[in-house]
Structure formats: structure tokens, C-alpha cells
Structure 1
């Protein structure tokens, strides 16, 4: 088996993001029996964005002075409260997010509605030189995060211009977590990090970055050991299998 280096490399603008919502994104059944698409039905409440700075070894800095971040809340109306899933209503009441979404306290921007939120997010991206993704050139915004498809579903349904600004592909840290737990990568023994799971957007992003840093650090160590083995002329069973294939 041969490997190829012809895969296009991206010159991407990494955009780590997380959203808080009034429910899940998939099809859901209401108490009335009606089936609805969750990402359209449940309200979008909070959007967090972090623009990282990365070292040459792949480790991402979380230094606030060099990593611009944006925390946006969307004003909650009485009508929006009727579209909450019971679990989400309980969780966001407990965390204090719902109370903050009535006053706007603690947000970088407090949007009146989704259109206002969409404009504010795009303005933040433009002001920080995050380019719209260009597929031909492989440049511009790519979204990263944990369970990132969930966030993209809500963007697509409620903030379509924000979703269109990013590559249709995205990088999901959760996929690494799942693969590390299965037989696919279990032998690699990648370890994640403990999380507080506070369900606030920027805190969830920071935990995702710390998890990615943990995986990157462990992979860097594996590469270092492989380099040392190569310099000593040690060939692993896997290398033999690949060269014979």
C-alpha cells in the first residue's frame, strides 16, 4: 500500500465555536405529537467564537491577549420560552444563562434577534481578518469544536449567512474522542481531559481546545519516539506491514 501527499493543504482561518440552544438539533416530537426539525424549532440562545493562535507544534494558545473571542447572547422572548425542551429550560435556568438573556449582562454583544446576531458575528469575523472560505484556494474559515455538526445545524437553520461563510467541512474533536475509545485507535491510548460541562459557550470552547491540545501533545510524543526509533534503525511491525503491502 502506498501513501500520497497530494491532498490539498488548507491555509485556514480556524474558528472554534459553540452554541447554546433551547433543545437538540435533530427531528423531535412535540407534546402535541407534531414532528419538527429541532434546529429550526428550538431557539438559538448564545454563540461563542474563539480565534486561536497556534504554535509550530500544533498546540493552541488560550491566552486572552492574543486569542480574540466573542460571546453573543440573543434576547429571549416569552414566545421563545414556549419552544424550549424541558431539559434545556432546566439547565439554562440553573446555569443563569436565561436570566442573563433577559438583561444582556456579561455578553460582548446582546442581539435583538437572529438577524442582528448574524450581522454582529460577521462583523466580528471581518474585523479580525477571518476570510470567507474559498474552496478553490483552500483558504478561509473552517469551524472546529466538540460535536460541531450540532452547532452547524443551528447556524444553517437560523444564521445561514454565518454557516455559508465557513467551509462545508468541519473538524470535530469528538470524533477523535470516539475513535480513541474504539478498537480503531484503542491501541494508541490517547487520553482526553476532564470537563466541567457548564454549558456556556466560551467555557465549552476552551474545554474543547484543551482536549485538542491533549491529543496533539500525545501525538507529538508518539512522533518523537518514532523518529528516535528510525534513527536507531528500529522498524516496527506496522512499518513492515505497510512496506510489504
Structure 2
């Protein structure tokens, strides 16, 4: 499979260079703005995949470690001006984590969200793991132990199976509201009274996390 991917990459790159040649060469393509437009279009499409974690970034959008110590190193040299735009795959998630880091430095704690697990471990583990992974990508610490009142969180996520949701989602959402939850998520799909928003594989993680930090007052 490695040889096949390598061949596909080489063929796609060569075809890209051939389109530049057909349009008059590198200088002409740069002057016309066509190359910049093509790159911007590709980046816009890729950004959507990154935001929805369709293109996962290990350690950033998937399997982040909030307790990880930041790498200490010399600042990178200033990038030269001009030329084509410079982008980073993880920049949207970096901005979210930077907001959380600043909140931690200012208050001594990260923003938190309570995972309300319903039923047996077999019923809730998969979705609780998904929710914890998702919110940690934005620097939001998931809390699973104790009660909502003791968690220090202002929002909560219901985590369980569809069958358990049908039986308990609405009453649990109401109880969380009564306990002070400002927003109640549900990991999965299905409409239930008291649930504000759903999180699921393929949802826009950047939008969810940014809006959540906004509500929590994390600037």
C-alpha cells in the first residue's frame, strides 16, 4: 500500500506541474493569481475535513493529552514575507487550546464539562470516550466522577446507548438543568427534550468547541 500511495502522490504532483506548464509556466501562473486561488480552494476543502476530524491529527484533534507539558524550544525564525500563503493543519485546534491554556494560567484550572454516563459501562463507554476525546481537543477537561454539582462544570454531555437514551435522556437532561447546567449535549443522535446540541462522528468539532469556550467565558 505504501508503494501505491507513493505512486499516486507522484502522479498527482506531476500532473499539477504539467498544468502549470500548460498555463505558461511558474512565473505566469504566479502573476495571474491562479496558483494562489487553487491553493486557497484546496485549503478551504481540507479545512472542513480537519474541522470535522475526517482528517484526524493525532495528539491534536484526536487523542490529545491536556496534561502534556509544552515543548520548550527556541522561537522559530520569522517567515520571509511574500510568496504563497503558509498554513498549518492544526492551526484551528491550536487556537482553541491556546484559549484553554490562557484560562488555566489565569484561573488555575481548565474549563470543564461533565460527562453524564447512563447505564452500564458497556452502554456508555464508547460514547463517553468519544465525548472526552472531542472536548479535550479544544482544551476542555472532561469530568466523569461524582455529580454535576461537584464537577466545577457549567455544561454536560449525555453518554450512553440509543436504547438508554430513549428511556432516560429527557429526565436526565431535566435533572442536569435543575442542577445548573447551562447547556446539555448528547453524544449521538436523536431528538430529546432538554438536549441543546448533539456531538457525533463527523460533526464540526471546531465549531462545537469554539462555541462552548465562548459560552464558558474562555476568551
Tell me the TM-score range normalised by the shorter chain. under 0.3
Which one has the largest radius of gyration? 2
Greater relative contact order, per chain length (Cα 8 Å cut-off, separation 6+)? 1
TM-score with structure 1 length normalisation?
Answer: 0.20
The normalised TM-score by structure 2 is 0.22
Which protein is richer in strand relative to its size? 1
Structure with greater helix share of residues: 2
